[in-house]
Amino acid sequence: MQLKAELLSPRGKIPKQGVENWLKDAKEMIAEAQDVENKVRNGRYLCRAWNGKLVDEKTREMKEFLDKAPNASEALAMDGPSGGLPLPTSELVGEGAARKEIWACLMQEEVKKIGVWGMGDVGKTTIMKHIHNDLLKEQRFERVIWVTISKEFNVMKVQDDIASALKLKEDLAIEGVLVLRGNSKLI
């Protein structure tokens, strides 16, 4: 229920990988438990002792599995690729020059990458959210995506998020390789 609530938020969240893996394993665990339940229900009187042992084993296994559940006190979802949706922004104050400079670079064909850096809390993310939304309105690019990079930086995860947003995941023949072609810009 907590995961569903987090995913319903308007910020484009996706489940964390550990949560997805746990949920997949939980479905398998439930299917196995249902098999045991069917064996007990359909078993004959002489088989009940053996089935009781099977139920006890499965119950212990499920308790251990539940102990490994993702911590519900932490977030179960994370920001996902924007998928072309506008991002919520706050008003920019005094950052017009930087925004115009970034925009000018993006509009140049020969520019393929743009780095935005600076001290924390100076407005880098806010400017880039405005740029993202402006690019969506401009419709100059076929797709505009937003990928959040966490403190626990993982190149494979970033590439996977980009590939998912571009619907390229199934096209990647070599794991860990992402090729941007054509009029692509990487910010």
For residue 66, give both structure tokens: 């539940």
The domain spans of the chain are 2-77, 81-171
Contact 83, 12 (CB under 8 A): yes
Gap between the Cα atoms of 27 and 14, Å rounded: 19
Residue 94: strand, helix, or coil = coil
Token couple for 17: 């990988």
Give 39-64 pLDDT, tens digit per residue: 777 766 556 667 778 888 888 998 98
pLDDT reported for residue 72: 65
In contact, 62 and 29? CB cutoff 8 Å: yes
pLDDT band with cut points at 50, 70 and 90 for residue 181:
very low
CB 73 within 8 A of CB 123: no
Q: How far apart are CA 15 and CA 76, in angstroms?
A: 6
Least confident window among 35-44, 72-81, 135-144: 72-81
Token pair listed for 168: 């390229």
